[in-house]
Structure 1
């Protein structure tokens, strides 16, 4: 078992995905990806706005 397979196994065991069907696992992973995309997208917009405001004030 290589490093990537161990991380995937740890992810499945940590969140209890090993006991779900394949389609439930895919649905959960899609929801996680969408949630992470929203967090990173809005976080990047916030950080750029923050730095633009900080640089224009100075």
Structure 2
């Protein structure tokens, strides 16, 4: 059993998926993936808004930002 197979086995045992049918496992894994996508997507939006609010802007032209010249 290689490393990936052990991690899949651990995931199935931890969440009790080994006792489900194939379609129930598929449904559960689909819901987990959708939930993770929502968390990551909204988390990234929150982080960008947080950075904008606190003034941590990323300058698109790094040479002008080093020289202290800010364009419009």
TM-score range, shorter chain: over 0.9
Q: Between the two structures, name the one with larger relative contact order (CA 8 Å, sep ≥ 6).
A: 1
Higher helix fraction: Structure 1 or Structure 2?
1
When Rg is computed on C-alpha atoms for both structures, the one with the higher figure is 2
Give the number of equivalent residue pairs.
56
CA–CA separation in structure 1 for the residues paired with 2:48 and 2:4: 33
DSSP 3-state at the match of 1:47: helix
Moved over 2 A (4+): none
CA–CA separation in structure 1 for the residues paired with 2:20 and 2:12: 10
Which TM-score applies when normalising by structure 1? Answer: 0.94
Q: Deviations along 1:14-33, whole A, 9 cap, x unmatched?
A: 00000000000000000000
| Structure 2 unaligned regions, length at least 5 | 57-72
**RMSD of equivalent CA atoms:** 0.9
| Structure 1 unaligned regions, length at least 5 | none
1:1-58 to 2 correspondence within 5 Å?
Answer: 1-55=1-55
